[in-house]
Structure 1
């Protein structure tokens, strides 16, 4: 069990840095009524988000015509996008890869990176070698763009992803949710830092001579706000979400780690899901903003 007293020790072990990480947001491709977003919808999203960030990440290039619609919106509003590929199945990979081939060329200026996979190793939908092969296909197609993967922090920390690191991939986003680890809010930041430290340190150790080339970030983190479900000792609520953002997310950015917060907007169309504890879980209230694009709390990090 991680305890709050770990945090001072973790922070003390972090070297002083003058640079700061970049805050980005995970952005869905459906509107509140579940319809697919058009370019105008993404432009409205970006207008709401621009006071917080100008970087977003997506999960699929072809689903809801995401690449086709988000790229022109990013160009119009001065945003950068990390595009996603869903490689779990031949069909989803081929469709996303083909969408990238169609819409990325000529638009590299707004593409911050491409991630192949979102917790594939955690779900065991692909082996590390299978995932590496698909990452390399995308790398070979887009040599001027950083290509990597996203997975749960523990799949990086426990060696599951080692073949991908050894295969020369240098872009890794580790997901880490103290909430889903049944942590009280006062212990959430310590847990979050511990998770990211374990993932980052293991990747760099395995990378060896390529350690300095590693681009490591946090692919997802967050906390449900009012209306969300509790998960054991982790209690949903807007005040708790703000505390985690101000302590955990702002602290991670101060450590010069890029963070993609999950998520930009509430997704009121999402059905309830069943958690690991067998209980129905509401996943509609994870946004920094409401479904109608209103901010929920202070998102300004201390300097």
Structure 2
């Protein structure tokens, strides 16, 4: 496997769980809908570092929207943080803007702030693009970094999707294009299973191992990362899955902590911005529950 230069340095410096990337998904927008500034990204990085476990990595979904990378990369460099880059793949003009935003920041700042690049997010699950198209875009972004920067040998390029999309044999071409595969798994949403908090650990790891088996068969050597998982603190129940602070705490302690110890893991989400409250910090950036492992 090929790692960014910074990843190699960290892997050499730490052992066990400390050698894995661990962090949070993060939004381009503040809770009020405004675009985040560099200073606000710096606050996000510093908030993560202040949490138990000392998190330094965040996953972003896009690169050009809200000048996301242009603001987040200098914030990462200022705070010692790293970014799992997202390239939004829908719409040709948007995709071109995403690529240009990534190219601009690597030409300006280099690569030491970068964890890896994800080309797309849950496109296969949503049915927004055929598998061959996502694979083509992965090769395209890797080629751009190689031809125009000469650094492709140090950058991993992959794709993030739901575990159910990865185990679909129709999507094998995407796995074959990836250096790494990001899997999203939420036992809370698995409404056809016994998905209560008491069985969440089993459901989560069953999904991860199913993806690992498929990836090992289609592309031996490609790593499987957990790129989204979490449990909401409020909202509607899904079958046996009940949102609550108590259950979110239990999911963190039992499942997320175990994922940190066994592979690269990005939790959904640092601070709320979606339909359900998954955020681990509140509007004042204080932990919603105990985040110690």
Higher mean alpha-carbon deviation, 89-98 vs 66-75, is at 89-98
Shift of the alpha carbon at 1:91?
A: 2.1
Match of 1:200 among 212, 219, 233: 212
Separation in structure 1 between the aligned mates of residue 61 and residue 204 of structure 2, nearest angstrom: 22
Match of 2:249 among 220, 242, 247: 242
Segments of 4+ moved more than 6 angstroms: none
Does residue 223 in structure 1 map to residue 231 in structure 2?
A: yes
Is the 1:71–1:107 Cα contact (8 Å) retained in structure 2? no
Post-superposition CA distance 1:122-144 (Å, at most 9, x none): 11111111001111111012213
Separation in structure 2 between the aligned mates of residue 30 and residue 229 of structure 1, nearest angstrom: 25
Does residue 125 in structure 1 map to residue 128 in structure 2?
A: yes
The change in CA–CA distance for 1:186 and 1:135 in structure 2 (over 3 A counts) is: same
Separation in structure 1 between the aligned mates of residue 16 and residue 228 of structure 2, nearest angstrom: 21
What SS is found at the alignment partner of 1:108? coil
Higher mean alpha-carbon deviation, 171-180 vs 290-299, is at 290-299
Separation in structure 2 between the aligned mates of residue 118 and residue 160 of structure 1, nearest angstrom: 17
Match of 1:112 among 98, 107, 115: 115
What SS is found at the alignment partner of 1:161? helix
Count of matched residue positions in the alignment of Structure 1 and Structure 2 = 263
RMSD between aligned alpha carbons? 1.4
Match of 1:136 among 136, 139, 145: 139
What SS is found at the alignment partner of 1:295? coil
Shift of the alpha carbon at 1:160?
A: 3.1
Residue equivalent to 1:274:
none
Post-superposition CA distance 1:164-197 (Å, at most 9, x none): 2234x22110000000113101011100000011
TM-score in terms of structure 2 length: 0.86
Residue equivalent to 1:3:
none
Residue equivalent to 1:288:
280
Residue equivalent to 2:270:
264
Shift of the alpha carbon at 1:216?
A: 1.4
Post-superposition CA distance 1:38-65 (Å, at most 9, x none): 0000111111111341000000100110
Separation in structure 1 between the aligned mates of residue 176 and residue 42 of structure 2, nearest angstrom: 39
What SS is found at the alignment partner of 2:95? helix
Separation in structure 2 between the aligned mates of residue 166 and residue 30 of structure 1, nearest angstrom: 33
TM-score in terms of structure 1 length: 0.83
Residue equivalent to 2:180:
171
Separation in structure 2 between the aligned mates of residue 289 and residue 228 of structure 1, nearest angstrom: 17
Separation in structure 1 between the aligned mates of residue 284 and residue 235 of structure 2, nearest angstrom: 17
Does residue 19 in structure 1 map to residue 16 in structure 2?
A: yes
Match of 2:100 among 93, 98, 101: 98
Shift of the alpha carbon at 1:29?
A: 1.0
Shift of the alpha carbon at 1:156?
A: 1.1
Residue equivalent to 2:169:
159
Shift of the alpha carbon at 1:159?
A: 1.8
Residue equivalent to 2:10:
none
Residue equivalent to 1:84:
86
Post-superposition CA distance 1:90-112 (Å, at most 9, x none): 12211111111111223311011
Higher mean alpha-carbon deviation, 67-76 vs 198-207, is at 198-207
More helix by share: 2
What SS is found at the alignment partner of 1:73? helix
Residue equivalent to 1:9:
none
What SS is found at the alignment partner of 2:112? helix
